[in-house]
Amino acid sequence: MLMTGDQYIESLRKLKTRVYLFGEKIDNWVDHPMIRPSINCVAVTYDLAHEPQYQDLMTAESELIGERVNRFGHIHKDTEDLKKKVKMQRLLGQKTASCFQRCVGMDAFNAEFSTTYEMDKKYGTEYHKRFVEFLKQVQKEDWTVDGAMTDPKGDRGLSPSQQRDPDLFLRVTERRPDGIVVRGAKAHQTGCINSHWHLIMPTISMKEEDKDYAVSFACPSDVEGLYMIYGRQSCDTRKLEKGADIDLGNRQFGGQEALVVFDDVFIPNEYVFMDGETEFAGVLVERFAGYHRQSYGGCKVGVGDVIIGASALIADYNGVSKASHIKDKLIEMTHLNETLYCCGLACSTEGYPTEAGNYQIDMLLANVCKLNVTRLPYDIVHLAEEIAGGIMVTMPSEQDFRSKMVVGRSGETIGDIVNKYLAGSPLATTENRMRVLRFLENICLGASAVGYRTESLHGAGSPQAQRIMIARQGNIESKKQLAKDIAGIKE
């Protein structure tokens, strides 16, 4: 069943998910003004699946249940699927100008699918069978699933079992005949509160002594012992201001991260997909990270499209769109943005089948993709801010713009004064000029900067993680040989 956005939102109301924000428990988190934009964002992934012109991108035929499913629950069966995934993410970035969150689940499904298969082959376990059963459920119910990897990690110089506090990496604290008990946390989890289920993976490669930390499982969001503490964003309390609209920049959509705490949660065996197979922890991490690094060549490009559009608009509204340096900057932004898209498509085109039969992206190219994403969006934002001008961060508030308080010599209100002095080209009203400036502020350094700027740097792994993968995949030795052959070096 393909849910609509409204059905998705209603389905969240049935969950008893425990959410804390500003030191308080939030019972109606679905309608909370700071949380709702992130829910609206995920709702778009449901609504677009019903629009005929997007069906090819947004849905796919599931071989597991023999029905058309939302692509966010799909197992990639060829390189076409991998490319469509990136295109779908670009589309959603364009429609929301935010992180729409649902990709972490999709990327986790595909990494689990191949890794559990290989674990079973080696150990005769039944993880793959369990995982496929879980996935069928996800596809039938059209659930959003939070793929959770990143542990708090404590002292970064120490392995999980060496930490002073053993809970700093999520671990198994008890094994029972019918399941396991887990304790720990997952930090900055994208789209965790508004997910129906969570799919937990280990965060790094593990050694034998870290056995209890090599664990993967699924659980519902409202399972006993699980709670989440909402992560705040820059300027987030603007969403609590009465009647806030212009000052939000993006009133409808936003991303979401939280600290997810597992306070001794029982997981029945049927939802355990790894327990102690330490040598597969690294495999699962690399595959998930690879898929998510591919993802950034789609989602960030879609958001980049909106930023370029907003920059061109503010140039019009400022009356400078004919200046040659403005045209150059827009060309540069487009070049940077499309470079990221090239990388997203390239690692998809070069994808290959796994033993389990699903498709994995090219690891080297996916890591190159993400390393570019750690840089180019900063250049794009830099150019956007340059085109926008300083008024983007010094402008009076929406309340001033709407104020009826008389302050002027001839009876002008604060609103009249703001309207007069913030006017630009006759092409735009002051209000529209303010709207596009606030949008750029939001995406460059406000609440949405989490999803575009800092997430570009640290999401799907910080740049050093990509460098390590590039070093591993770069094959310098064979390149040395190429040079030797041509330079006539015989050793």
Name the site residues for Fe ion (rule: CB under 5 A): 459
Please confirm, yes or no, whether 292 is among the known catalytic residues: yes
Q: Which does 49 bind (CB under 5 to 8 A by kind): ligand SF4, Fe ion, none?
A: none
Nearer to ligand SF4 among residue 354 and residue 456 (C-beta): 456
Please confirm, yes or no, whether 455 is among the known catalytic residues: yes
Q: Please, how many CA atoms are within 13 Å of residue 325, restricted to the half-sphere of its CB? A: 5
Strand 19-21 to strand 226-230: parallel, antiparallel, or no bridges (unpaired)?
parallel
Cβ-closest position to Fe ion: 459
Please confirm, yes or no, whether 296 is among the known catalytic residues: yes
Which member of 86, 99, 326, 333 binds ligand SF4 (CB under 6 A)?
99
Residues between 50 and 89 that touch ligand SF4 (CB under 6 A): 89
Could you say whether residue 295 binds ligand SF4 (CB under 6 A)? yes
Query: Do 233 and 447 form a contact (C-beta atoms < 8 A)?
Result: yes
Query: Do 27 and 61 form a contact (C-beta atoms < 8 A)?
Result: no
Query: Do 466 and 374 form a contact (C-beta atoms < 8 A)?
Result: yes
CA dist 152 and 162 (Å) reads: 14
Q: Which does 103 bind (CB under 5 to 8 A by kind): ligand SF4, Fe ion, none?
A: ligand SF4
CB of 370 to ligand SF4, least distance (A): 10
CA distance readout (Å), 371 to 243, 365, 407, 466, 470: 40, 10, 52, 6, 9
CA dist 314 and 157 (Å) reads: 47
CA dist 459 and 453 (Å) reads: 10
Query: Do 127 and 273 form a contact (C-beta atoms < 8 A)?
Result: yes
Nearer to ligand SF4 among residue 101 and residue 318 (C-beta): 101
Please confirm, yes or no, whether 291 is among the known catalytic residues: no
x/- track of binding to ligand SF4 for residues 180-219 (CB under 6 A)? ----------x-----------------------------
Nearer to ligand SF4 among residue 246 and residue 469 (C-beta): 469
The residue annotated as part of the active site, out of 103, 219, 343, 444, is 103
Cβ neighbours of residue 120 closer than 8 Å, sequence gap 6 or more = 126, 127, 128, 129
Nearer to Fe ion among residue 290 and residue 459 (C-beta): 459
Could you say whether residue 299 binds ligand SF4 (CB under 6 A)? yes
CB of 147 to ligand SF4, least distance (A): 9
Nearer to ligand SF4 among residue 321 and residue 454 (C-beta): 454
- 181 bridge partner residues: 174, 266
CA dist 485 and 474 (Å) reads: 19
Binding site for ligand SF4 (CB under 6 A): 89, 99-101, 103-104, 190, 295-296, 299, 455, 459
Active-site amino acid positions: 99, 103, 190, 257, 292, 296, 299, 455
